[in-house]
Structure 1
Amino acid sequence: MHAAPPAPVAIVAAMHEELAAVLAQMPDEQRVRVAGRDFWLGHLHGQPVVAVLSRIGKVAAAVTAAVLLERFRVRAIVFTGVAGGLAPAVRVGDVVVATELLQHDLDASPIFPKYEVPLMGLSRFAADRAIGEGLAAAAALALRDPVALVGRAAVDAFGLASPRIHRGLLVSGDRFVATSAESDALRRDLPDALAVEMEGAAMAQVCHDYGVPFAAVRTISDRADDAAHGDFARFVAEVASRYSLALIGAWLAAQPAAGEPAAT
């Protein structure tokens, strides 16, 4: 009797540039199209993976997570990409590894408390601790030399001389926060939020329902203020895509070989 192949890890990004960097390192990728999305099956650093572009927004993220869990039976989902910084110490070029996630635009009050998912009694969904620690460790190593990671031109253009790693609350909503008034309101209402994006909390909720580990690592592309749109495409292509590949790659490389037990 042959042992079943090990379950893959899902690597998810919202934008094509980030996914393309991962796919370029998957020599045996095989495309499977489901729900209008291309799911790429293969290996990265010896680990079985499924890479997919979720598209932007909470519904798109939730659909992608459900397909990954039902069709591909992944053992964990890791979301990578960019976010806008909210906390004062979170600057462009920093990395945020989520410890918990919340939907900042969910409000069914007065029936339920603001931010609480109706009928679940939860507003915050925990990210997987072990995966988060591994991603933070990978980020610490990668960011020691930002010039080697993204090149001198990008470091100078975006002021990436001393990027930092942060761990904490990541908030998600179905709008691109791009004004100082919006970011100020989020800081007032959610003072412990580190950064804001558009997918993570929805995917975390689906993973919670299925009991499957979820992690999110985000590169800060802007300060979610009036200048948030400036050089965004260049930042994603020259910085965030390289961060994502380096962090995900280092984390996967540190995992036990496929089929081997994890260290205790």
Structure 2
Amino acid sequence: MIKKRIGILGAMPEEITGIVGLLKNKQEVVKGMRTYYVGTINNIEVVVVFSRWGKVASATTVTHLIVEFGITELFFTGVAGAINPDLNIGDIVIASSLIQHDLDARPIMDRFEIPLLGKTNLCPPKEMLDKAVESIGELLSDESLVHLLSSSQSEIFSVLNPKVVVGQIASGDQFFASHEDKGNLLAILPEVLCVEMEGAAVAQVCFEYNIPYVVIRTISDEANDNSVVNFKEFVSQVASRFGVEIIEKLLKKIAL
């Protein structure tokens, strides 16, 4: 039986700091301008690393995790901009499918189709997805995440009653910062919940190496003209804390 070794990716440097703090017997390995933190959490072997930004960088990072560190599963947490109008800041989106919104090789193949794979969407294993939904649902139902924030933080960032939503996440090498950007994306991909820059690329690598994965994003902004307001503060004060709590719960629920 293959021993579990969980890869944990964070989409922002601030998002892995708290997770690294959980490690026992921590070692640091520097490769390819990346620092990989190897150790255990709850007696489970893990490797924690900042994905770096964009599809190429994040795909490189997860390839290192698979080939050089021998991970058997992957958890990816980070922030994303809301595309669906029903999403609020602080909501948690779990990807049931991921698509590269900027992939277009027409007329050679269909729009969004991944060359050689014949797929437009990539989906995590149902078992991992279901357990992630259950785990995060429990954190929200007992208000474990909200209690991580002070009343002033909840008010400042408008994180009052976060919910978990499952659906499509779109990835591409573009930061969405206007209503026009959102409208253009929804016109071609109406089912997209949120947008970020790494998840679908990471999913493609995991698919090709047959590594189970789950991608979880905390909504940090509305992907419009106010997207950059308090973004760094949100990541350090909210998303990073949510990420630590989510990873601990996932390790208990999924990895055991």
TM-score, structure 2 length as denominator?
A: 0.95
CA distance in 2, matches of 1:210, 1:101: 17
Question: 1:135·1:248 contact (CA, 8 Å) conserved in 2?
Answer: no
1:28 has 2:25 as partner: yes
Structure 1 runs (4+) greater than 6 angstroms displaced = none
Match of 2:80 among 65, 79, 83: 83
Q: Show structure 1 runs of 5+ residues with no match.
A: 258-264
Corresponding residue for 2:211? Answer: 212
Alignment of 1:83-162 (within 5 A): 83-144=80-141, 145=143, 146-162=145-161
TM-score, structure 1 length as denominator?
A: 0.92
CA distance in 2, matches of 1:161, 1:53: 28
CA deviation profile, 1:161-213 (whole Å, cap 9, x unmatched): 21110001110000111111001111111111111000000010011111111
Identity %: 35
Match of 1:71 among 68, 73, 77: 68
- Deviation, 1:143, is 2.3
| Counterpart code for 1:111 | I
- Deviation, 1:255, is 4.0
Q: Show structure 2 runs of 5+ residues with no match.
A: none
* C-alpha RMSD of matched pairs (Å): 1.4
Question: 2:5·2:46 contact (CA, 8 Å) conserved in 1?
Answer: yes
CA distance in 1, matches of 2:70, 2:40: 16
Question: 1:143·1:149 contact (CA, 8 Å) conserved in 2?
Answer: no
Number of residue-to-residue matches in the alignment: 254
CA distance in 1, matches of 2:78, 2:121: 20
CA distance in 1, matches of 2:254, 2:215: 17
CA deviation profile, 1:19-73 (whole Å, cap 9, x unmatched): 0010111132111112221111111122111001111000011101111111111
1:187 has 2:186 as partner: yes
Moved more, 137-146 or 80-89: 137-146
- Deviation, 1:153, is 1.8
CA distance in 2, matches of 1:127, 1:254: 16
- Deviation, 1:119, is 2.2
**Residues 256 and 8 from structure 1, CA distance in 2 versus in 1: closer, same or farther, beyond 3 angstroms?**
closer
- Deviation, 1:117, is 1.1
1:251 has 2:250 as partner: yes
Corresponding residue for 1:237? Answer: 236
